[in-house]
Amino acid sequence: MLVGLAATTACTAAPESAPPQKQKAQQQKGSGGGAAPRRPAPAHSPAGGGAAEKRGFTLAASGDVLPHSSIIRKANADAGGEGYDFAPMLAGAKPVISKADLAICHMETVYGADGDYTGYPSFKSPPQVARALRVTGYDSCSTASNHTLDAGAAGVRRTLDALDKAGVKHAGSARSATEDKSPAWLRAGGAKVAQLAYTYGTNGYPLPKGKPWSVDLIDRGKIIADARAARKAGADVVVVSLHWGTEWQDSPDRQQLRLGKQLTASRTNGRLDIDLILGTHAHVPQAYEKVGGRSGTWVIYGMGDQIAGDMINHAGAHDPRGNQGTIGRFTFAPPARPGARWEVTKAEFIPMWFNTDTGRVVNLNRALDRGAAVNDIRDRIRRVVLSRGAGASGLTMAK
């Protein structure tokens, strides 16, 4: 019962009315344009070597995209009352995201259709979110969350169809057993990157009958097996997105620490199976940690929310932490010898904030209004991110 309660309340946002247009009537409880940008397309190097394989790359990742009804209304207003435009609210993240060689988001919700768009507790977001993610510069998104089955198998299909149409890869949910067997395959620099994604649960919604592959659930054995399969299929770098942890808790819980340690210790023929772990779900920023010592693996326990309405915590109080987050940015260098690991040579985080008054994502290190309130939010995020000694492992705060 405790897990179910946490999963339901944490995605609540402040009470609000349904969005305009053909919005279905709902009771809202409180939690929570233009062509795609572009950095040059990464080179696809031929098998057997070549200069492209020697290039490193940067990977940027961010937290939950959680469109409550207030967010849907804002997107409608930004579209001039006709349709929905989510790109303006993400514009504050675009300078960081679009400049990365590879950018990964977490799409927390599934999409609705024909104006049937809802916020908490069962989310159905406008599919225009997908296009905004691409415009911002995202290449792929994790889609495994406790809300993946809010609209059943139809919601999964609509979401992945929209992401495909927008040109955004995805991992963690699937429309078929065949699709479920493949990670999101990405290219960055000279590397072939595989993204896998899993969630702790689905808010009590059962897996659709006859479609157990609709969403990937966290299972240590499966995650390791999938990572090894991706490596065997040619992945130079394996990234695992995990929807895990305890909502509203700044510190990673015991399950996160235990699973993180187990996954980052897994090896095949001496080579680590997983190269980076990206965490979501807690709705608040959590620590970064390099697990396994100097040659270990970076784990972001929780990136917080990137987009969400005014968030209400389990005590029923408005909690500003629910609109705080980070972007993690990692620079990977090619291996010194064939078969060796691609190493993270630079690890950074950027403190982010979603201003619910303006409906805009704010880079707190580039905010025009650098008043005491903005500085306090930034400094709190920095303390949390560095709380497990990531600074000593080389993590720095960037712009």
- Average of per-residue pLDDT values in the chain: 90
Per-residue model confidence as pLDDT tens digits over 71-115: 999 999 999 999 999 999 999 999 999 999 999 999 999 999 999
| Long-range interactions of 296-300: CB distance < 8 A, separation 24+ | 296/264, 297/264, 297/272, 298/328, 298/330, 298/344, 298/347, 299/260, 299/264, 300/61, 300/326, 300/328
Per-residue model confidence as pLDDT tens digits over 135-161: 999 999 999 999 999 999 999 999 999
Provide the whole-model pTM.
Answer: 0.90
Tokens of 278: 């990206």
Task: Please give the pLDDT value at position 302.
Answer: 98
**Cα–Cα distance between 376 and 383 in angstroms, integer?**
11
* 271-272/267-268 β-pairing: antiparallel
Per-residue model confidence as pLDDT tens digits over 31-53: 333 444 445 444 333 333 444 44
Band the pLDDT of 308: cuts 50, 70, 90: very high
The architecture of the domain spanning 58-397 is: 4-Layer Sandwich (3.60)
CB 244 within 8 A of CB 281: yes
Task: Please give the pLDDT value at position 14.
Answer: 65
Band the pLDDT of 298: cuts 50, 70, 90: very high
Whether 28 has a pLDDT exceeding 80, the answer reads: no
